[in-house]
A and B are shown apart, each in its own frame.
Chain A
Amino acid sequence: MFTEYDVIVVGAGHAGCEAAHAAATMGSKVMLITMNMMTIAQMSCNPAMGGIAKGQIVREIDALGGMSGIVSDKSMIQFRMLNKSKGPAMWSPRTQNDRMQFAQYWREALEANPNVDMWQDMVTQLLVENNRIVGVKTGIGQEIRSKSVVLTNGTFLNGLIHIGEKRFGGGRTAEKAATGITEQLIELGFESGRMKTGTPPRLDGRTINYSILEEQKGDEIPGKFSYIPSHNIKEQKSCFITYTNKDVHEILETGFEKSPMFTGRIKGVGPRYCPSIEDKINRFSERDRHQIFVEPEGWNTVEVYVNGFSTSLPEDVQYKALKQIKGFENIKMFRPGYAIEYDYFPPTQLNLTLETKLFENLYFAGQINGTTGYEEAAGQGLIAGINASRKTNDLAPLVLKRSEAYIGVLIDDLINKGTDEPYRMFTSRAEYRILLRQDNADLRLSKIGYEIGLASKERLDLVYQKIKGIKTLTNDLKHKKIDPVNINSSLERIGSSPIKEKTSVFQLLKRPELNTEKILQLDSSLKGYLSKYDKEVIEQAEINTIYESYIEKEQKLVEKVEHLENYIIKENFDYRKIKALSSEAMEKLSITRPKTIGQATRISGVSPADISVIMVYLGR
């Protein structure tokens, strides 16, 4: 019934879709297997893409030739550039999305690719022959053969949903859990763990009194994720903000004795940075209110998502508590919040390519690796898909460096540090935050994307054009002098001190109250000068100019640290011989088996002191 595929992707969430699309675009024959073709690219939690650190990942995916950015742009109902008041490294694009459109555009993108076949079924088993993965077996008994398999099972592996004291198997509400794979992987020698995540109730927007809530509008001029020119939306939908209060907390507390979190029924570890509302009340009892974001689920639905109110308390307690929130006095619920436990496989069992150490041609991506978030999943899926495809063509794997991309930080953290709680990206995880900006993801990655056959020529040409523009403009900013005569009166008018002699735009830019556009508008002789440059080019040139010293400093750090990557540690190095290593370091090093000193420095539990010990031992 089936031919032999290059790549089988199991699961069609954010990771699976990116993996299938990438491998297929690069020329591989791909089979995408999902349990339900109606739920391809479901946004199972909040209807939004991007945000701080995550928006950077989406732009990186886009720069490499992935689809998440384009799909998000097409389905957006609101755009905001978060953190605009901070430096450019913190600017983070985020879209609110129409949940149904998001899934629809993804499916269209996959269907548009002739290399992607799809099959609706549950994968219950991997086919193993001579210690090699050669395909999968499905629930209805089909055997599908392939050169490689990418597992992106999300929360479906032995998924267990909790609402109060009720619990039932499932991968999402009203969707079956997947069974069989965990058990087989353990038999094959993998170690598995259990994680927990949760989601808030969905409400009937017709019963919310929006008029008394604080409105959060989209940006006046909405941006987008993709570097490829596409239409911008005309209209946007707003989000709203409200708060819990003491009455809400009191009601929630009445449900604590039935909370699966507190009664110990949930064994999995949940994320501390995405706590349930009961967790927030319990751990931070001194706070008498918590922020709630009311997010619309799409253009044509009244359903809303109540961000900040993730809970697994009994549904009646959820309902009673919600009614005490300002604006929710007459609330009706569509679906209760719930917690879900699922199997994951500690990612320290993977190589930097996301291929498992135990089996060649077997790749893991997304929540199966202990991460959380659409963007984190999509980024991994993309890399797993790329590497699965390249390996079947005998090409060198693609590994992004920590200094190159958040995706590089993500995967490097996962395989070196592992994770005990669902891993979410933060900008503070990236030591080279100043270099890994959303505005330069295309400059960082499009060339790579093009070279591996994923990003289009069109995309690369845009990048080269941009680079050229930036160079000319940056140079001009440094050398273009402004005459005091032309600008001083304007400067005084806006409260900026006058200049005494001819000054370069570059110098003036260092004043916090000025930017390129302002300066060139102030100087009558320069009016119109900028019109020949794109907005993005101006922005880049400005960033390069203002933050030059910081950017250079960070680049030097990169060079310094990458030096450590040259110190090779032998594959069979016996860490147990060095008693000075902390026992944690000894254990972690023995498991992870870093290839270089540089990699060893990034393994959690390995301190600089441990590194000195190894260096001393190696005779450095």
Chain B
Amino acid sequence: MKKKESNDFEETIVALATPQGIGAIGTIRISGNSAIDVANSVFKGKDLRKQESHTIHFGKIVDQDIIIDEVLVSVFIAPKSFTRENVIEISSHGSPYILQKIIQLLIKQGTRFAKPGEFTKRAFLNGQFDLAQAEAVADLINSDSNAAHMAAMNQMRGGFSKKIKALRDELIHFASMIELELDFAEEDVEFANRDQLVELILSIQKEISKLIESFRIGNVIKNGVPTVIAGKPNSGKSTLLNVLLEEEKAIVSDIPGTTRDLIEDEIHIEGISFRFIDTAGIREAKDKIEAIGIERTHSKMKTASVILYIIDLAEENTLDIREAEQKLKSLKIPWILIGNKTDKLSESALSKLKKEFPDMIFISAAGEVNIDILKKSLLNLIKADSFKTGDTIVTNIRHIESLTNTQTALDDVLKGIDRKVTGDFLAMDIRQSLYHLGEITGQITTDDLLENIFSKFCIGK
């Protein structure tokens, strides 16, 4: 164990709060006891030490007599700040040179360059968030799609913890009923009804399954859907990709003030991002399906990945289509079969094919026909709609581990009941599940059980 009990905490830290690179504005954040003093020592304007919390002040950052930039300074006084410490945010012009200069100046005044995640860590250690929330903040910072933002916000507000807590409370009640019949068997106590327990466990398991399932969606939101466009050479893969990307870029550039550069192989559909794996490869690959299939079996997490398989309607026949369909089915990955180049077919041939392959989506990538329908199917495929209802979404691997462990322990309880094992063994598995739920919400078990017993039951000779 690293026995470092540094007094890190007493130091004032500084870092760039906006992304690296050229932008119109850059923000530098300072946090710590002496944040305001330090900022004041390089600020020419009002005396920052005399300003109220949550106020903004115009002035100049100066090094001796040299003016570095004109800036806006926001003052947040502890504990009413993100880190619950004194915080100063300096918004200057976004030139990397200016920003660097200001940071160097602040370091010279006695601040220290913050380590990655240190602001969040301080916020966490100062009690701004619980652990689940702190992790959500980290997610929030990294989120670059609408949906990821929503999920992270929901988790940060404690929605997830609340749901787990409710499940846990129900289970605690039952656990204490079991403990009651164990520890107070000599007395006139009621017994825990096993049928009701089974019912409760099944309903809890259903909830947990939903949460675990939401991880798949959560992951999609967080990381984007790994998506592959496959098909024979010249079936129109890159055309389709370009059409999808083009449209996306147009949408983004319509939004004023959007400065974020689009990653070339990522598109956003209604807030969900789709990441095209190894796009360059796709453009040449004959058949990427097997490769992905293998990769899938190796990956532990059931991240959603999607295959868009393109059929060249002008070149391929019914047999080819069936063969492709078979292959897709065997991979057990969500897929969409796309018939491209509808413009090359006659009306009658097209309607015949539509009848034969009702699930196939017919488009013309080059003509940009039916691209909307394709997008809608893509959304449906990952059931991304479900998060919009305000459902709790699990996006964190630590949580999913705890939930999975809970599920296993609950399975063991059910097995135990089925084998008619006695309460002491059931209690062991119930406690395990409570323990794992507690890992998420941060609560203790044994004390809770006895508390519940003493408050609800008349026991004691």
Contacts and interface: CB of A to CB of B under 8 A. Distances in A.
B5 A573 contact: yes
A90 B4 contact: no
A620 interface: yes
A428 B125 contact: no
Contact of A53 (B9, B124, B183, B444): B183
B188 interface: yes
B185 A568 contact: no
Interface string A541-558: 000000100100110010
A53 B438 CA distance: 26
Given A577-B9, A617-B125, A291 B185 contact: no
Nearest to B455: A272
Nearest to B457: A284
A87 B421 contact: yes
Nearest to B439: A608
Contacts of A610: 442
Looking at B184, B186, B420, which has the most chain A CB atoms within 10 Å of its CB? B186
Contacts of A620: 1-2
A299 to B, nearest CB: 23
Interface stretch (A125-133, A273-281, A321-329): A273-281
A618 B4 contact: yes
A579 B125 contact: yes
A262 interface: no
B424 A431 contact: no
Contact of A618 (B1, B127, B428): B1
Given A429-B446, A612-B442, A273 B460 contact: yes
A570 B179 contact: no
A473 interface: no
Given A272-B454, A273-B454, A607-B442, A579 B126 contact: yes
B3 interface: yes
B423 A86 contact: yes
The interface centre, meaning the residue of A90, A417, A554 with most chain B CB atoms within 10 A of its CB, is A90
Interface string B441-461: 011101101100110001111
A433 B460 contact: no
B183 A619 contact: no
A135 B335 CA distance: 84
A307 interface: yes
B165 interface: no
Interface in B188-219: 188
B183 A431 contact: no
B345 interface: no
Contacts of A608: 438-439, 442-444
Given A87-B425, A568-B3, A609-B131, A283 B458 contact: yes
Interface string A570-583: 10010001111100
A344 B46 CA distance: 60
Interface in B113-137: 121, 124-128, 130-131
Contacts of A51: 186
Contacts of A291: 187-188, 461
A554 B428 contact: yes
A619 B185 contact: no
B347 to A, nearest CB: 65
A397 B420 CA distance: 43
A616 B1 contact: no
A579 B130 CA distance: 12
Interface string A306-320: 011010000000000
A364 B84 CA distance: 43
A619 B460 CA distance: 46
Given A51-B186, A272-B460, A90 B125 contact: no
A619 B1 CA distance: 9
Most B Cβ at <10 Å: residue of A417, A609, A619: A609
A580 B3 contact: no
Contacts of A190: none
B178 to A, nearest CB: 9
A240 B183 CA distance: 21
Given A90-B423, A550-B425, A604-B447, A275 B4 contact: no
Contacts, number: 140
B458 A52 contact: no
B1 A428 contact: no
Contacts of A434: 424-425, 428
Give the interface centre of B127, B128, B424, B443 by most chain A CB atoms within 10 Å: B424
Given A83-B185, A573-B5, A618-B5, A580 B458 contact: no
A612 B131 contact: yes
B298 interface: no
A290 B421 contact: no
A443 interface: no
Contacts of B121: 616
A275 B446 contact: no
Given A608-B438, A618-B1, A87 B422 contact: yes
A610 B131 CA distance: 9
A511 B446 CA distance: 31
A3 interface: no
A27 interface: no
B149 interface: no
A512 to B, nearest CB: 6
Contact of A428 (B425, B427, B443, B458): B427
Given A87-B424, A272-B454, A607 B188 contact: no
Nearest to A597: B1
A428 B460 contact: no
A450 interface: no
A320 to B, nearest CB: 22
A519 interface: no
B424 A86 contact: yes
B179 A428 contact: yes
A238 B348 CA distance: 97
Nearest to A289: B188
Contact of A290 (B188, B443, B449): B188
Given A609-B131, A616-B124, A52 B425 contact: no
Q: Which 5 A-B pairs have the closest CB atoms?
A: A609-B442, A284-B458, A87-B422, A580-B127, A579-B126
Given A90-B422, A577-B9, A580-B125, 13 more contacts: A52-B184, A87-B421, A87-B423, A89-B424, A427-B183, A428-B427, A428-B449, A554-B428, A579-B125, A580-B127, A581-B127, A609-B442, A619-B2
Interface of A: 46, 51-53, 82-83, 85-87, 89-90, 271-275, 280, 283-284, 287, 290-291, 293, 307-308, 310, 417, 426-429, 431, 433-434, 512, 547, 550, 553-554, 557, 566-568, 570, 573, 577-581, 604, 607-610, 612-613, 616-620
5 contacts: A83-B182, A87-B422, A290-B458, A291-B461, A553-B428
